[in-house]
Amino acid sequence: AQSVTQLGSHVSVSEGALVLLRCNYSSSVPPYLFWYVQYPNQGLQLLLKYTSAATLVKGINGFEAEFKKSETSFHLTKPSAHMSDAAEYFCAVSEDFGNEKLTFGTGTRLTIIP
C-alpha cells in the first residue's frame, strides 16, 4: 500500500524567505511522486513530478523538489517566496504512472507574510 504524509497542515513564511514543504512517502515499489497546488476556488494544478529520471526535479513557478530514497522524502522548496505562492499544496504518490492511482496527502496551506 502507498501513502504520503505531509508534515505541517499550515506553514507561514515571510515574503522573500525560503519555502520548505515536507512530504514523506511510503511505497512497496519505486514510486512516482507529485506536487500539486490548489489556489483558492481553483482545481489542482501539477507543479512537478518525479518519475525516476532525476532526483532533483524542477517545476513551474520556481519550485523544485528532491527525491531522497534513504529518507523516503520528496520535500518541495522555493528559494524566495512570493505573495502569489499563497495556496494549498498537495503531495501525491503513485506506484504506477496513472492518474487513477494517485494517493494524496492531506495538504499544507502556505501563507505568505508581507
Partner 1 sequence: DSGVTQTPKHLITATGQRVTLRCSPRSGDLSVYWYQQSLDQGLQFLIQYYNGEERAKGNILERFSAQQFPDLHSELNLSSLELGDSALYFCASSVESNTEAFFGQGTRLTVV
Measured over all CA atoms, what is the biggest interatomic distance in the chain, rounded to whole angstroms? 42
Residues in the site for partner 1, rule: CB under 8 A?
Answer: 41-46, 90, 97-102, 104-107
Shortest gap between Cβ of 10 and partner 1 (angstroms)? 14
Q: For partner 1, which is the closer residue by CB, 17 or 103? A: 103
CB closer to partner 1 out of 13 and 108: 108
Minimum CB distance to partner 1, residue 42 (Å): 6
Angstrom distance (rounded) from CA 77 to CA 64: 6
Cα distances from 46 to residues 1, 33, 70, 71, 109, in angstroms, run 23, 11, 25, 23, 16
CB of 114 to partner 1, least distance (A): 27
Using the minimum distance from each CB to partner 1, give the nearer residue, 28 or 99: 99
- Do residues 4 and 26 make contact, with C-beta atoms less than 8 angstroms apart? yes
Tally Cβ neighbours within 10 Å of residue 36.
Answer: 21
Our CB check for partner 1 shows the closer of 97 and 113 to be 97
CB 78, CB 48: distance < 8 Å? no
Nearest approach in angstroms of CB 112 to partner 1 is: 22
